[in-house]
Amino acid sequence: MKGKGLLVVISGPAGTGKGTVVNELVKDDNIVVSVSATTRSPREGEKDGVHYHFITREQFKQMIDNDDLLEYAQYCGNFYGSPKKMAEEKMKEGKDVILEIEVQGCEKIKKKNPDCVSIFIMPPSMEELERRLRKRGTETEEVILKRMERAKEEVALAKNYDYIVVNGPLEECVADVMSVINAEKLRAERFE
């Protein structure tokens, strides 16, 4: 009785470790992560088509005009968007699709897809978040400060999500997110 897969939105400030959590979640064969399109430049080690589809502003505009995106948003000077095609195909196959996106994108998705599940990954503290952001060592001081500012705004919006999971020990956070996904799939209204 396998129905359509779930659309799961995962947000949280940059540096909160949500990428690591998502990497653990996709080890489950039934869970896939959507590869976003972005106009930001690749960081060292990031591969086109794997971490993001790295595209130009013109290409991004074209995707908006063609209605190819489920949602898109501007974040710290760059555009980010979730391609529609892959997410819709995978959900039809019964896979749960994770969108790892920031808060404005989540608001847009919720309006268009009210049955999506939204989870906010909360850093244990703002001090720990700054420590993690600096440890990554991939950003300039200016970018780190911009991202910390944005993090404070995002944490203030966490209450708009269906669930908040604190990212302390990784295994606990992953287990909590899996519990949410599994429980959501058992909702009576999803029974087909």
Of 59-67, 96-104, 117-125, 174-182, which segment contacts ligand 5GP by CB under 6 A? 96-104
Collapse the DSSP code of 127 into the 3-class scheme (helix H, G, I; strand E, B; otherwise coil) and give the result. helix
Note whether 73 binds ligand 5GP by CB under 6 A. yes
C-alpha dist (Å) from residue 8 to 32, 74, 97, 132: 10, 20, 6, 25
Binding segment for ligand 5GP (CB under 6 A), chosen from 55-63, 68-76, 165-173, 182-190, is 68-76
Residue 158 CB coordination number (10 Å) = 16
Q: Which is nearer to ligand 5GP, 166 or 185 (CB)?
A: 166
Q: CB nearer to ligand 5GP: give 162 or 185.
A: 162
Window of 21-29, 99-107, 114-122, 183-191 that interacts with ligand 5GP by CB under 6 A: 99-107
Taking the C-alpha atoms of residue 160 and residue 166, their distance in angstroms, rounded to an integer, is 15
Whole-angstrom distance, CA of residue 155 vs CA of residue 174? 19
Q: Which of 96, 102, 176, 184 binds ligand 5GP (CB under 6 A)?
A: 102
- Written as six digits, the tokens of 121 are 């990954």
